[in-house]
Amino acid sequence: MPPVIRIGTRASALARKQTEIVSGLLLENGIESESVIIKTEGDTQTGIPLHEVGGQGIFVRALDDAIQRGEIDCAVHSMKDIPAARPDGITTAAILPRDPPYDYLAFDIPLDEISCIGTSSTRRKAQLLRHDPEFEIKELRGNIDTRIRKLKSGDYDAIMLAEAGLARMSLHVNGIRLPTKHFVPAPNQGTIAVVCRDDPGISDLIRPLDHQATRRDTEIERAVMEEVGGGCFTPQGIYCHNGSLIAEILSLDGKRYERMEEHVENSDDARRIGAELRDRSVNLILEAKEKLGLK
């Protein structure tokens, strides 16, 4: 009889929902599992901008550590939160079929009256300011419910969310889907990844959940991201669908950007594009780090 897999998850409703999705898929394959809540520093310090507490990777680190200590067998993540540098001994065993990759602008007032928008993402801020330099962008962190509650209370005219999170939570919020052509998503946005110890006894049980088309596109995105570097604080959108890639680096104020659009066959192509984009954007990357006070 296969062992019961211990799945680590953050405590947020979205993280637990994503873990439920993975648990259900494992059960369909005859594998039982149990959830283990792991607290992360990013969940407790919600009033501080992400670049001041360690970036998106702060949500992943605690779960990686729990895997390495043997407290859990695997962990479920929004794949866009997983940093480029990964610890030894941990592998991405499965990437689920991609949910909607789009950014979503949620609002309750007429669209042409929006002036103040909430987001904690430097990418979203830069893309919004490129669209309309008159927007006021205010810091917004917290889980989906918290962000929607702040919108409803009038703290913001609109807020930016990932449509995938709304879909997974079956939340219906007034607003519009933003096109990937102009609001290029973060690398791997809309995908759920299952990471585990690099141990066939665990990874072989999880691997049947892997979706090859999504893995191919997300690996292309990650190859570009790894070559660009610049950390998760540099405003960058990288999105691939069936080999069609859009990748861009923006200034923090959205006034300047470098962009490439190509059809990509493999990760080698993606790394070539990432290296070229990095070379063309080096001043934007250095400028963003300096303005955010990063080393």
- Distance of alpha carbon 237 from alpha carbon 225, whole angstroms: 9
Catalytic one among 64, 73, 81, 217? 81
Contact by Cβ (8 Å): 245, 219: no
The single-letter DSSP state of residue 9 is E
Active site residue 155: no
- The answer for 243, left when phi > 0, alpha when psi is -120 to 50, beta otherwise, is left
Q: Is 84 helix (H, G, I), strand (E, B) or coil?
A: coil
In a 13 Å sphere around the CA of 113, the CA atoms on its Cβ side amount to 6
Residue 195, phi then psi, degrees to nearest 5: -110, 150
Which of 109, 57, 275, 92 shows the shortest CA–CA distance to 117?
109
- Relative orientation angle of helices 144-152 and 13-28, to the nearest 10 degrees: 140
Cα separation of 183 and 173, whole Å?
19
Q: Which residues are catalytic?
A: 81
